[in-house]
Amino acid sequence: EIVLTQSPGTLSLSPGERATLSCRASQSVSSSYLAWYQQKPGQAPRLLIYGASSRATGIPDRFGGSGSGTDFTLTITRLEPEDFAVYYCQQYGSSPKTFGQGTRVEIK
Amino acid sequence: EVQLLESGGGLVQPGGSLRLSCAASGFTFSSYAMNWVRQAPGKGLDWVSGISVSGTSTFYADSVKGRFTISRDNSKNTLYLHMNSLRAEDTAVYYCAKSSGSYSWFDPWGQGTLVTVSS
């Protein structure tokens, strides 16, 4: 099973600042089969990024994904008020399709 | 618009059973793999089970293998999760999610249904 470790656990930033979230895998993720999701309180997760760097339909271009192998990054270039949420990475290249434990982006 | 609507959650005693349903609309249900993902209160996401387009291939997390059964009825555009021998640690919101295949991301997700296992 591939274990995904996200860091930091919590990121305290102000609107307009840049957010950098990390996701490290315990072994190489096949073909960059890595996704990022956003979850707000009381809501279902929403797909942001798939294939490590492709934005899902309707996702603003301030969200960007990068990385390969075992190290992946989600970058939010300029935080908007609606971006404060919990973010999860997921690998879907091998079974079971594991998730990271999440990074909470909170308002400083 | 693609929609997934879960139902069937509720309070059940340890050792009991429950069947969750996920009604799909807005896409050709029979062309997509489907999954169940759960989230315990205040915790992260945990993949539970997946099923192929035809239903002939099924996949389970070790934590539920032998207790949960995933199935689908393509004529009714509905995904199911049959849960037996429920434990307190199965308490969670259960989401269904659509994926394009065995190696695909999950999009979209339903709104979830809460299962509480307690005496």
Nearest to B95 by CA among B30, B35, B17: B35
Environment class of B119 (CB within 10 Å of its CB; exposed 0-12, middle 13-18, buried 19+): exposed
Give the percent of chain A with pLDDT over 90. Answer: 95
Q: Is B34 on the interface with A (CB under 8 A)?
A: no
Is the confidence at residue B108, as pLDDT, over 80?
A: yes
What are the pLDDT digits (tens) for A45-97?
999 999 999 999 999 999 999 999 999 999 999 999 999 999 999 999 998 99
Q: What is the mean pLDDT of chain A?
A: 96
Kind and range of the H or E element at A19? strand A19-25
Report DSSP letters for chain B, one per residue.
Answer: --EEEEE--EEE-TT--EEEEEEEESS-GGGSEEEEEEE-TT--EEEEEEE-SSSS-EEE-TTTTTTEEEEEETTTTEEEEEE-S--GGG-EEEEEEEESSTT--EEEE---EEEEE--
Which residues of chain A have a Cβ shorter than 8 Å from any chain B Cβ? 30-31, 33, 35, 37, 39, 43-47, 50-51, 56, 88, 90, 92-93, 95-102
Which residues in chain A have Cβ-Cβ distances shorter than 8 Å to B45?
A: 37, 39, 45, 88, 90, 99, 102
DSSP 8-state class, residue A95: S
Q: How far is CA A14 from the centre of its chain?
A: 19
Confidence of residue A32 (pLDDT cuts 50, 70, 90): confident
